[in-house]
């Protein structure tokens, strides 16, 4: 017994409706997947931005405090809101090695990255993490930050891991160049006089500016600055203190442009 024409029409309509429902289902599922994917990428972007902000903050603080995040181990001037270390103190050369400054930058990132991550909340997402361990390398044109830290992201039944070690932060910076010239100035205290021509050439080659400021009490504040490697000008400073017998005349001549 054959199927009547009306029954065939109904069958076709039902089949089309089922097919349309299937198409709509997978379309909406794809749209939902895209939305979730975009949300996930946003969360990861916030985490990476946090790491970027903290590494930049470490460089700025290191500049203000002459290479130190923690309290300097030797002579320094305490401004209550910042430490300014002495690189030369009445005959003693006290400038830290680059490896020490790299360690200070590492300590800053390790101490402050967790606070940055915990300072924001994203509705529906749970963020946990391992303890950070940062390695820093000061190079001629940049400072590299390698952060070993696993960040776990969870929303409902979905989980993901973000390994910050896969996203090394290489920050353009003149810090390496500044330390080269700072070392030259510090070591010059062992010589009868400083080679002003040599100093000028070093500053010009590295596109750096240098100021000497009378800090009182036989001390001079040495301030480096540059505006080539970042949007905001960068500064780095330290102090030199002279004995009553030392005039510091050579460095004053530099400040006066003689």
Name the residue among 155, 137, 191 with its Cα closest to residue 44. 155
pLDDT value, residue 216: 87
- 94-147 residue pLDDT tens: 999 999 999 999 999 999 999 988 887 777 788 888 999 999 999 988 999 999
Give the chain's end-to-end CA distance (angstroms, integer).
115
DSSP 8-state code for residue 65? T
pLDDT recorded at residue 4: 52
User: Count of domains in the chain?
Assistant: 1
Coil/strand/helix, residue 106:
helix
Q: Are 239 and 86 in contact (CB under 8 A)?
A: yes
At residue 108, the pLDDT reads 97
The answer to whether the beta carbons of residues 52 and 169 sit under 8 Å apart is yes
Share of the chain above pLDDT 90, in %: 53
Q: Is the pLDDT reported for residue 22 higher than 50?
A: no
The predicted structure's pLDDT at residue 6 = 52
**Is residue 12's pLDDT more than 70?**
no
Residue 7 lies in a domain: no
The answer to the question of residue 20 being in a domain is: no
Measured between alpha carbons, how far is 224 from 182 in angstroms, rounded to an integer?
Answer: 9
DSSP state of 218: T
Given a contact cutoff of 8 angstroms between Cβ atoms, the answer to whether 225 and 208 are in contact is: yes
Q: Provide the 8-state DSSP code for 217.
A: T
Domain membership flag for residue 42: yes
Angle, helix 98-117 to helix 175-187, in steps of 10 degrees = 140
Between residues 15 and 109, which one has the greater pLDDT? Answer: 109
pLDDT tens-place string over residues 173-231: 999 999 999 999 999 988 888 888 999 999 999 999 999 999 988 899 999 999 888 77
| 119, part of any domain | yes
pTM of the model: 0.80
Q: Which of 70-84, 93-107, 122-136, 244-258 has the highest mean pLDDT?
A: 93-107
* Residue 246: predicted pLDDT: 67
Q: How many CB atoms lie within 10 A of CB 203?
A: 18
Residue 140: per-residue pLDDT: 87
Query: What confidence score (pLDDT) does residue 169 get?
Result: 86
Parent domain of 52: 34-256
Residue 3 pLDDT greater than 90, yes or no: no
Residue 43: inside a domain: yes
Provide the pLDDT for residue 30.
44
Assigned domain for 4 exists = no
User: How high is the pLDDT of residue 112?
Assistant: 95
Query: Would the pLDDT of 42 be above 50?
Result: yes
pLDDT of residue 47: 87
Q: Does a structural domain hold residue 21? A: no
Q: What's the chain's length in residues?
A: 258
pLDDT bracket for residue 168 (50, 70, 90): confident
DSSP output for 159-202: EEEEEGGGS-EEEE-SHHHHHHHHHHHHHGGGSSS--HHHHHHH
């Amino acid at each position: 017994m054959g199927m009547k024409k009306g029954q065939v029409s109904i069958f076709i309509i039902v089949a089309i409706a089922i097919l349309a429902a299937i198409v709509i289902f997978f379309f909406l599922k794809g749209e939902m997947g895209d939305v979730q994917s975009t949300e996930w990428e946003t969360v990861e972007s916030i985490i990476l931005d946090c790491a970027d902000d903290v590494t930049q903050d470490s460089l700025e603080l290191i500049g203000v405090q002459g290479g130190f995040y923690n309290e300097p181990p030797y002579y320094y001037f305490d401004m209550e809101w910042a430490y300014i270390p002495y690189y030369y103190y009445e005959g003693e050369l006290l400038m830290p090695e680059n490896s020490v400054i790299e360690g200070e930058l590492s300590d800053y990132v390790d101490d402050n990255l967790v606070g940055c991550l915990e300072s924001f909340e994203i509705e529906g997402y749970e963020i946990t993490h391992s303890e950070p361990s940062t390695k820093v390398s000061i190079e001629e044109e940049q400072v590299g930050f390698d952060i070993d830290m696993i960040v776990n992201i969870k929303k409902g039944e979905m989980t993901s891991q973000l390994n910050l070690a896969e996203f090394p932060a290489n920050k353009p910076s003149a810090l390496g160049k500044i330390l080269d010239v700072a070392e030259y100035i510090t070591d010059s205290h062992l010589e009868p006089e400083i080679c002003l021509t040599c100093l000028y050439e070093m500053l010009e080659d590295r596109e750096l500016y240098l100021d000497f400021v009378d800090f009182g009490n036989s001390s001079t504040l040495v301030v480096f600055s540059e505006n080539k490697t970042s949007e905001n000008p960068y500064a780095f400073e330290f102090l030199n203190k002279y004995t009553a017998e030392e005039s510091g005349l050579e460095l004053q001549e530099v400040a006066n442009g003689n």
